[in-house]
Amino acid sequence: MQDAIPTTTFPTGKTVPVIGQGTWHMGERKASAADEAKSLRHGLDLGMTLIDTAEMYADGGAERVVAEAVKGRRGDAFIVSKVLPSNASRDGTVNACEASLKRLGTDHIDLYLLHWRGRYPLSETVEAFEALRQSGKIGAWGVSNFDPDDMEELFAVPNGGNVATNQVLYNLSRRGIEYDLLRDSQARGIPIMAYSPLDEGRLLRHPELIHIAKAHQATVAQVALAFLIRNPGVIVIPKTGMPERVRENRATVEIHLTDDDLAILDRAFPPPGRKTPLEMI
């Protein structure tokens, strides 16, 4: 029996396991959609209940894969989706959410994010998010790709303090948020969702990671994920369409990095010594 996945709690009081599942590039090819849904369902069976998607992914195709994955078991999943900045006006946000709900085959999205900052004032998007929350179409709302200055601006708009998460690029190769954003978010009790936690697969060939993985009889993906989830309030959302890799990512909970491992990782992937612009993929 494997250890349970550790959890973190959003400011709304809702608790989720810190290893979830990404869906970028799912739904792009009809031939693979059924396998992708199966892989997500396997993750749900293993307790990886948070599924991250977006209206942008495969032009809604990824949300349709998620619909297939959660069919008949909506209650097992915590669905995160995102509105494109080009849709994030007061009315546009509501319309985009309703279109996502249709594609997802559900009556509510658990957490709805602004994918990145665009031309619409934050106050408009937040007003729409709050209306969606009041009507029960979303459980909570958050943002993505917001740097510390963006967060300060958000906190200054009416109800901006209701933000539940900030989803940002965070992995061993991209540690910039450790300088400020991560600490600020932890202090405010706002979980960070680390996207591209395997740096889109690029980390998997790194020699130091291979070395540490061997010492733990683990895989490189597990070491890379374990490094991130040892931080309180960090959720990882690795994407894979392969059930055996879902199992592998889930088993990250068995890996406990030592101080020596962390020192090696700090040498191979130096932590930020100063403020760096937030990177985006």
Ligand X SMILES: NC(=O)c1ccc[n+]([C@@H]2O[C@H](COP(=O)([O-])OP(=O)(O)OC[C@H]3O[C@@H](n4cnc5c(N)ncnc54)[C@H](OP(=O)(O)O)[C@@H]3O)[C@@H](O)[C@H]2O)c1
Q: Which of 156, 215, 262, 281 is in the footprint of ligand X by CB under 6 A? A: 281
Residue 93 engages ligand X in binding (rule: CB under 6 A) = no
- Directed axis angle between helix 148-156 and helix 181-188, to 10°? 40
CA distance 144 to 165: 8
Residue 39 structure tokens: 């892989």
Binding mask 102-121 for ligand X (x = CB under 6 A): -------------x------
Residue 70 near residue 44, CB atoms below 8 Å: yes
- Residue 168 host element (H or E): strand 166-169
**Cβ closest to ligand X, residue 115 vs residue 133:** 115
**Cβ closest to ligand X, residue 259 vs residue 269:** 269
Binding mask 30-69 for ligand X (x = CB under 6 A): ----------------------x-----------------
Strands 15-17, 166-169: pairing is unpaired
**Cβ closest to ligand X, residue 14 vs residue 247:** 247
Residue 61: CB minimum distance to ligand X, A: 13
Helix and strand numbers (H, E) in the chain are 10, 9
The footprint of ligand X on residues 234-263 (CB under 6 A) is 237-242, 245, 248-249
**Cβ closest to ligand X, residue 41 vs residue 239:** 239
The footprint of ligand X on residues 161-220 (CB under 6 A) is 167, 195-201, 204
- Residue 235 host element (H or E): strand 234-236
CA distance 163 to 186: 13
Residue 156 structure tokens: 């200054």
Residue 140: CB minimum distance to ligand X, A: 16
Q: Which residue number is nearest to ligand X in terms of Cβ?
A: 22
Residue 108 near residue 138, CB atoms below 8 Å: yes
Distance of CA 102 to the CA centre of its chain: 22
Identify the CA nearest to 26 among candidates 77, 61, 59, 51.
61
120 catalytic per annotation: no
Residue 148: CB minimum distance to ligand X, A: 17
How far is the CA of 224 from the CAs of 213, 216, 229, 235, 240, in angstroms? 9, 13, 9, 13, 15
Residue 145 engages ligand X in binding (rule: CB under 6 A) = yes
**Cβ closest to ligand X, residue 146 vs residue 158:** 146
Q: Which of 16, 17, 23, 229 is in the footprint of ligand X by CB under 6 A? A: 23
Active-site amino acid positions:
57
Q: Which residues bind ligand X (CB under 6 A)?
A: 22-24, 52, 115, 144-145, 167, 195-201, 204, 221, 237-242, 245, 248-249, 281
